[in-house]
Amino acid sequence: MTVFEKEMTLFSVVSANNKLLPVLNRFGIYMGLGDATIEQTCRDHGINVSFFMEIINTFSDENYFPENQLIEFDLSLIIQYLKQTHFYYFDFVLPDFEEQLEKISESNKNESNDFSVLNLFYRKYKSEITDHLSDEDKNVFPYVTDIQNVFNKNMSVQSFKSKYVNRSIGDFEKEHSDIETKLNDLKNIIIKYLPSGYNPNLCNKFLYSLMRFEADLKNHARIEDKILIPKVIELEAKMDKIHEDQ
């Protein structure tokens, strides 16, 4: 896979990998890309170009994983990107899944079919992923933002310590394995057990959407597990050192 460079046009980037379109949207870049280079577009949108390059390259190639480069960025940039991704899941992906499921159910031509099992699996998955994302939005990201605030001198170590008595990132961030397993269960139940009678094209479309989401989510979890958490652990250790010296 080609590594994208900032001198390339965004149009050529999207032509090489159209799955990047929703990633661009998370930075406030939408269609109507014209012939501008990545660098120009980032400048026009007030985006940190180095961070943008690392995100699109990480997203495009699983083997491109710039832990060392990404770890240099201010956590607020990473949090902003992760929050936008959650917003995209809540605002577009989950409602789209529900619309598709309804259409599949309506396409049924076999009266003895029971759609409730698939609905049940979907609802279980939805509640799992919603809890996970909401918990990050409400608890993990504010904690991370506060720790970054300490290092940007917007919060004192003392105030941080009294707000989060004896707590660390390990108490906040939950594992991703459960949501990955439940999504896999949902896919498998369709492939293995969905009875005939439903429109096959709609079923395939739903399955492809689940697979695309699975890939997006893996990338998202990778950024949280391999970049966000290690960076927070590093800052926690530095902060403890400052606290001891005070």
Binding positions for Fe ion, rule: CB under 5 A: 136, 224
Report which DSSP code applies to 227: I
CB 176 within 8 A of CB 223: no
Q: Which is nearer to Fe ion, 90 or 164 (CB)?
A: 90
Min dist CB 108 to Fe ion, Å, is: 35
How far does the chain reach from its first CA to its final CA, in angstroms? 50
Q: Which is nearer to Fe ion, 134 or 204 (CB)?
A: 134
Instruction: Report residue 52 as tokens.
Output: 């943008």
Min dist CB 141 to Fe ion, Å, is: 9
Please give the single-letter amino acid code of residue 99: E
Q: Distance between CA 80 and CA 64 in Å, rounded?
A: 21
Q: Which is nearer to Fe ion, 128 or 224 (CB)?
A: 224
Residue 224: CB atoms within 10 Å: 17
Min dist CB 174 to Fe ion, Å, is: 7
Min dist CB 70 to Fe ion, Å, is: 15
Q: Which is nearer to Fe ion, 38 or 75 (CB)?
A: 75
Q: Which is nearer to Fe ion, 67 or 224 (CB)?
A: 224
Among 125, 115, 140, smallest CA distance to 198 is for 115
* 30, 50, 92, 235 from 214: Cα distances, Å: 23, 26, 15, 30
Among 78, 85, 69, smallest CA distance to 24 is for 85
Min dist CB 212 to Fe ion, Å, is: 17
